[in-house]
Structure 1
Amino acid sequence: MGGETTQPMFFLRMVPILILLAMTVSASVAALCPVKCRCNDTTLSTICTSAGLEVIPLQLNPEIRHMDLSNNKISNLYYALSIYENLISLDLSKNNLSSLGSDKFKSQSNLQVLNISRNSIEKLKKDSFNGLKALVKLDLSYNRLEQLHNLTFLELHSLRTVVLSGNRITHLDKGLLKATKHLKELVLDNNQLLEIPSAVLSDAIGLQRLILSQNLIDSVDEGSIPILSDLRSLSIDGNVIRDIHHAALTGLLSLERLDLSDNNFTNVPTASLSKLSNLTWLKLSGNFVGKIPPVAFRGLFQLKYIHLDRLELLTKIDVRAFVDNINLERIWLNDNIGLSSIPTRIFHGNPKIVHISMRNNALTTVEATHFPLDQLRLLQLGGNPLECNCSLLWLWHLAQDQNKSPIIQSNQTHNIPSELHIDSQDIICAGPETQLGKRLLDVSESEINCSYSWIAIMSAVVSILFVVVIITGLILWSPLKKSHLRGKDMSQGSGALGRAEVYEPPRIEKCIVSAPVSHHHDYRTLSSWEHYGSSYGNCMSNMNIYEQLDCHLKDRPHIVYV
């Protein structure tokens, strides 16, 4: 009896379950679309974004290929995905997943794109991604991962992109990328890496894009970046790097883009950069560089775009800074609060430059000779404390011309001179006082134009004053000089011959000056001569004593009158 009673009770309890199962099967066959979801049987796609789902729906078309379940409350995958074997893309971002478990993707051999970003995953097992042999892109960003098992990507032979941004990764185990021979892009920004993961990168020989931004890397030493001959883009901005070893980048012969912004550089790493012969885009913004020296970007002949913004300590740019960059097209020099002047003709050695931006610096004046205006298409100078005087007359004319006629966009013909565009709306006068706070565009020509008549008058006045000062100086200086000389002569006594105006005949005594006697008593015999009082030559005995002194002076010995 007891057994007979138990069986009906068992069947009664199973009826709701069987009914629910039948409903589920019928719903699957009919491919019912859940509430708040959008299903398309033509494209075989379902979008259930923000639908409040707590589990993966089971009633979708089994042939579905694209499933978007982002921004829901899904906390576990269970084995629900095994129903959808034809999935090509799956988005599970912004859910409550804390684990992926093991072999949950075993049936997704066709899946190519998997997005599990912005969940709460703390750890991945070595078999979490088993079965995903066709996976091309994997996004695990903004989870709570601290490390990855070196076998995590073992079956991901087709993987091309791995995004691990915004986790807590401090290091990566060697061998992690050994099976991913086709990997092209590795994104590791916003983690806690203390150094460049050299051991892992050495397996990614085909890597083309590497992002290591916003980590704690403090140096780029020799050998820290392995030879990656296909690498095109490298971002190591937002770290604490002070310098790069001069040989650290030698293995990056194909590198085209390099971002070094927001580090601790105090000098341009010229020697390191010179190895990058194919570099076309460089960003050094937000560092502590105080000077851009001559040939700062030596050897970068292919460089087209350079960002030198937010260099708060920058005060000087050498006129030869960009001489090697003959293909330079665009340069950004914005928000350098210490930069008050630039050299004349600094960009005239760059024949292809078309865009110069120097906004929000400390420039008080700019001249037309600073820029190759005939080839520029965009010149930005807004936010500088410019003095609106006649030195800016050229810029005023450009602003007025631009205001009168529309500027042809840069995608139009480049042969029309009027296509040069300046940010005239943002150029505000910081002086003189009468123009303070005015837009350059609103200043009248009479206010900014320097009057040539006043210049001529001031020049004449200055010249006259200069001449008067010189003449007055000469007049005052001449008597002083004579007095000084007269005093000097008097102080020297009357022994100097030839100063007739102060000479008075003294009592004359004759003496014969002989040759000086050496310490070795080496005497010389004086040549014979006759007394000047006797008859000799044509000299008259009755001559005045001074006249006789002049007669045949060459024949007489040296006589000193005392």
Structure 2
Amino acid sequence: MWSALFSIASLVLLHPVLAFCPPNCECDDETLVVSCTQANLDVIPITLNPSIQRLVLKFNRIKTVDSAIQFYSSLQYVDLSHNQLVNIPIKGFEPQEKLVELQLNHNKLSSVNNKTFIGLKSLKVLNLRGNFLEDLPDSLFAPLSHLEELDLGQNRISRIDRACFEGLTALRILYLDDNQLRSVPTPSFTYLGMLAELRVGLNVFSALGDGAFNGLGRLSTLDLRGAGLTNISDNAFRGLQGLRSLVLTDNRLQSIPTKQLSKLNRLEDLEIGQNGFSMLEPGCFKGLSYLRTLEITGASNLTRVRKGAFSDNLNLESLTLNKNPRLKTIEEGALVGLPNLHHLNLKENAFTSFSESMLAWPELRSIDIADNPIECGCNILWLREMLVRRNTTVVSCNSPAPLKFKSLVGLTAEELGCSFNDAKKQAIIGALCGTAVAIIAIICLLLYKYRHRLQGALKDYKWNKRASRKEHEYQKTFSDDEFIMRTQQQTMKPIPVTEL
């Protein structure tokens, strides 16, 4: 059988024009791409153009990587996903020195060893997701010195040897999620100094110990969703000075791990929904001054957001608080003082109303407050007008009964129970009345403050007026001639007489 296969392959190599494209396959000799998706293949075709560079054989019934693959030495991309591979022969890919990406996900591989990948010196992406791997031995990936992305998710891995990742000096992305790890494989991180993204959620951790990620000083993204965490030690994130994105969704945390998170002073994106905390306390995200996006979704116990919860997060641009079935209170001022907040998602919570002073609504670029049990009344007329202007999220009334299920933007001011049709007129009248009251109050205050001076001034005025009138009357009692004579007598002096 093997001699026949080699004879056919030799003939195709000598005469490429004789290359045969199997039924249900697409072969393009110009782009050098062969795609045999769902082609009912049991083996790798041996009669393809030997110069092909991309080979897609997904969704077939191939059980092994046989020697046929050796005749396609120009391959750069191979997709054998969703087949029935149970094993890969030693050095099965040795001739594929140009191969850059290898997809082996969703097969039945239960084991691989350090000789499985010999020859793949150009490989950058290896996908082993969705297999039956249980153990990762030492030096398993040693031949893959140029590997940048490794996906080991959705396996049954419970043990990773210390030197498993030895030789992966270029690895940037590692998936270990959805396995059976009972602790973070900290010792094996020694060889992953260039790692930028680690996804290790959906395992059976209960806690993160101090220095759980030692050796990953360049880590930028850490995904711990569904890891079963109930406790995070104070120094669990020690050494992750460059971490930008952290996912703690779907764990068992009973409070926001404020102290632990404060060590991540460069963090920009945080997801921490589906945990057990009931309140966002003041300063709960203390130290995260670079935080740009915060998402809290599906927190079934969350009821209240306290004022000051985001006091340290002045760079916050996007806030998502949705699908929290008991969240109905955001304290006044909790969202004030966030100058960069442009995207707000409060969808599917328990809010019955929203305050106009809750935040600077007009400055938001996107708003989603749909699917809340809104009580439609005159107090949210401002919200209706804003939604009409922005033509954005759909808000329906939950009460009162006559307005139930009706769209807020379709209601009139009268239907909302407002006594004035024009909210602008109400605002102007209110402003004028307020101004008048303020002026009167100031005048009364000044009169009271300077009442003694005013009383003195009034007395002086009355006295001066009375005095001037009496002097005028006194002067009128004399005739003009008498007045002149009296004046002259007063001014003339007697002349002394001298005896001779």
TM-score normalised per structure 2: 0.80
Q: Given the alignment of the two structures, is residue 365 of structure 1 paired with residue 370 of structure 2, yes or no? A: no
CA drift at 1:18:
11
Verify the 8 A CA contact 1:328 1:353 in the aligned structure 2. Answer: yes
CA drift at 1:334:
0.6
Verify the 8 A CA contact 1:28 1:58 in the aligned structure 2. Answer: no
CA drift at 1:105:
0.9
CA drift at 1:24:
6.0
Q: Given the alignment of the two structures, is residue 64 of structure 1 paired with residue 52 of structure 2, yes or no? A: yes
- Distance between the aligned counterparts of 1:97 and 1:228, measured in 2? 33
Q: Secondary structure at the match of 1:200?
A: helix
CA drift at 1:310:
1.0
1:92-137 alpha-carbon deviations (Å, 9 max, x no partner): 1111110002111111111111111111111113311111111111
Corresponding residue of 1:223: 211
CA drift at 1:246:
1.5
Corresponding residue of 1:32: 20
CA drift at 1:268:
0.3
- Distance between the aligned counterparts of 1:21 and 1:363, measured in 2? 70
Q: Which runs of 5+ in 2 are unaligned?
A: 422-500
Corresponding residue of 2:373: 385
Q: Secondary structure at the match of 1:333?
A: strand
Verify the 8 A CA contact 1:149 1:176 in the aligned structure 2. Answer: yes
Q: Percent same amino acid at aligned positions?
A: 32
- Cα distance, 1:26–1:119 mapped onto 2, change above 3 Å: same
285, 302, 323: which one aligns with 2:273 = 285
Q: Secondary structure at the match of 1:331?
A: strand
The residue type paired with residue 98 of structure 1 is V
Q: Secondary structure at the match of 2:415?
A: helix
Verify the 8 A CA contact 2:214 2:238 in the aligned structure 1. Answer: no
Q: Given the alignment of the two structures, is residue 432 of structure 1 paired with residue 411 of structure 2, yes or no? A: no
Corresponding residue of 1:239: 227
95, 118, 122: which one aligns with 2:106 = 118
Please list, as runs of the form range in 1=range in 2, the aligned pairs for 1:100-499 lying within 5 A after superposition: 100-402=88-390, 422-423=392-393, 425=394, 427-451=395-419
CA drift at 1:370:
0.7
- Distance between the aligned counterparts of 2:171 and 2:25, measured in 1? 34
CA drift at 1:177:
0.9
Q: Return 26-35 or 365-374, whichever deviates more.
A: 26-35
The residue type paired with residue 345 of structure 1 is G
Q: Given the alignment of the two structures, is residue 53 of structure 1 paired with residue 21 of structure 2, yes or no? A: no
Q: Secondary structure at the match of 1:308?
A: strand
- Cα distance, 1:83–1:365 mapped onto 2, change above 3 Å: same
- Distance between the aligned counterparts of 1:309 and 1:23, measured in 2? 61
- Distance between the aligned counterparts of 2:235 and 2:76, measured in 1? 43
Q: Secondary structure at the match of 2:75?
A: coil
- Distance between the aligned counterparts of 2:367 and 2:6, measured in 1? 75
Q: Which runs of 5+ in 1 are unaligned?
A: 1-14, 404-421, 454-562
CA drift at 1:322:
0.4
The residue type paired with residue 428 of structure 1 is S
Q: Return 28-37 or 436-445, whichever deviates more.
A: 28-37
Verify the 8 A CA contact 2:189 2:215 in the aligned structure 1. Answer: no
- Cα distance, 1:345–1:103 mapped onto 2, change above 3 Å: same
- Distance between the aligned counterparts of 2:322 and 2:167, measured in 1? 45
- Cα distance, 1:16–1:107 mapped onto 2, change above 3 Å: closer
Verify the 8 A CA contact 2:232 2:257 in the aligned structure 1. Answer: yes
Q: Return 392-401 or 298-307, whichever deviates more.
A: 392-401
Task: Give runs of ≥4 in structure 1 deviating > 4 Å.
Answer: 15-29
- Distance between the aligned counterparts of 2:253 and 2:49, measured in 1? 57
Verify the 8 A CA contact 1:189 1:213 in the aligned structure 2. Answer: yes
The residue type paired with residue 400 of structure 2 is P
- Distance between the aligned counterparts of 2:375 and 2:202, measured in 1? 40
CA drift at 1:257:
0.6
The residue type paired with residue 21 of structure 2 is C
1:230-279 alpha-carbon deviations (Å, 9 max, x no partner): 11100010121012112111211111110000000110001111111111
- Distance between the aligned counterparts of 1:449 and 1:250, measured in 2? 57
CA drift at 1:22:
8.4
1:297-330 alpha-carbon deviations (Å, 9 max, x no partner): 1111111110011111111211100011111011
Verify the 8 A CA contact 1:183 1:206 in the aligned structure 2. Answer: yes
- Distance between the aligned counterparts of 1:371 and 1:61, measured in 2? 65
1:344-377 alpha-carbon deviations (Å, 9 max, x no partner): 2321211000111111111112111112123111
1:34-92 alpha-carbon deviations (Å, 9 max, x no partner): 22221222222211111111111111122221111111111122211211112111111
The residue type paired with residue 223 of structure 1 is G
CA drift at 1:188:
1.0
- Distance between the aligned counterparts of 1:279 and 1:351, measured in 2? 19
Larger radius of gyration: 1
- Cα distance, 1:16–1:205 mapped onto 2, change above 3 Å: closer
- Distance between the aligned counterparts of 2:366 and 2:51, measured in 1? 53
The residue type paired with residue 312 of structure 1 is S
The residue type paired with residue 401 of structure 1 is R
